Amino acid sequence: MSVPLLIQTSINKSRGETAGQVKKFRLSGKFLMRKAFVAGNWKMNTDSQGSVSLADGVACGSMDIAGRSVDVAVIPPFVYLQAVVRALNQSHIAVGAQDMYYEEKGAFTGEISTSMLKDAGCIYVLCGHSERRHVIGESDELVNKKVTAAISGGLLPIFCVGEKLEEREASQTNEVVTRQVKRGLAGLDVEKVSAVTIAYEPVWAIGTGRTATPQQAQEVHAMIRKLLGQMYDAQLAEELRILYGGSAKPGNAAELMREQDIDGLLVGGASLNADDFVAIIKAAV
């Protein structure tokens, strides 16, 4: 069993899931499971008080299921990480960071390392979110360095990929996503890649209210899973969780989650309201 799964087990401190609460797959005569995972990316929102009350609201509303039948994470801005970690201390909700730098320490003004994030209580870190790629200008190579450093430092990366509208319209979705996955995971062996959660987030669906249809999302998720099978092996491809992100909300979460290869949701806007985020968590079970 790889280290990342042990980390996840310790977050969940688990009580067994029921058959209906996890997706099951038969592979080589063996059942493998992918537990649902819902993460809320708060982006550059909230303040010190608001971040704690949002965390409290999510913890309260999801108390019965978080960590049991669904893994839950919140991803606040850096400056509120420790306050949110404290607020969630008694819960089974993990905390993640929105970004990190790949160097361990030194003269990198403004950057934050994996050890600092771990010290602050983070379990997850987003790598290659589309706003980092397209607003800040991060390349596939930089994202790869971050994913690699996150894993070496003991964090679980949520590695984001997704095509822009013009790329979808030019039928380049598979090509773009394949390139991002291959370059983003370059140099990582199967053991290391098992620490990764992939998030497919079509750029045209992020913050636009325009969600990919469940079929559109499923097609890309299945393509990514097949690619993982080619890059690594069938077991890794079946085990790795692939989240969908892009205008996920209470009204569409259940139908997205019904798709075979959609294992969870990375939620932006709707994660800023505790009731909406809790409704999404419940829809994922």
Contacts of 18 (CB under 8 A, 6+ apart): 69
- Position 197: which residue type? T
By the rule CB under 6 A, 41 interacts with ligand PGA: yes
**Least separation, in Å, of the C-beta of 269 and ligand PGA?**
3
By the rule CB under 6 A, 206 interacts with ligand PGA: yes
What binding mask, one character per residue, do residues 145-184 give for ligand PGA by CB under 6 A, x or -?
Answer: ----------------------------------------
By the rule CB under 6 A, 201 interacts with ligand PGA: yes
Binding segment for ligand PGA (CB under 6 A), chosen from 181-189, 190-198, 221-229, 239-247, is 239-247
Residue 129 among the catalytic residues: yes
Assess contact for 265 and 244: CB atoms under 8 A. yes
By the rule CB under 6 A, 40 interacts with ligand PGA: no
3 state SS of 238: helix
Name which of residues 88 to 127 contact ligand PGA (CB under 6 A): none
- Position 155: which residue type? L
Which position among 129, 131, 221, 238 bears the catalytic label? 129
By the rule CB under 6 A, 266 interacts with ligand PGA: yes
Q: How far is CA 42 from CA 76, 79, 148, 273, in A?
A: 5, 12, 24, 10
Residue nearest to ligand PGA (CB): 268
Query: Count of residues for the chain?
Result: 285
Q: Which residue from 67, 128, 246, 250 is in contact with ligand PGA, where contact means CB under 6 A?
A: 246
Contacts of 37 (CB under 8 A, 6+ apart): 70, 71, 72, 73, 197, 241, 243, 263, 264, 284
Q: Which of 160, 161, 55, 73 is closest to 117 using CA atoms? A: 73
Q: Give the nearer residue to ligand PGA in terms of CB position, either 122 or 248.
A: 248
Which position among 131, 163, 167, 201 bears the catalytic label? 201
Site residues, ligand PGA (CB under 6 A): 41, 201, 206-207, 245-248, 266-270
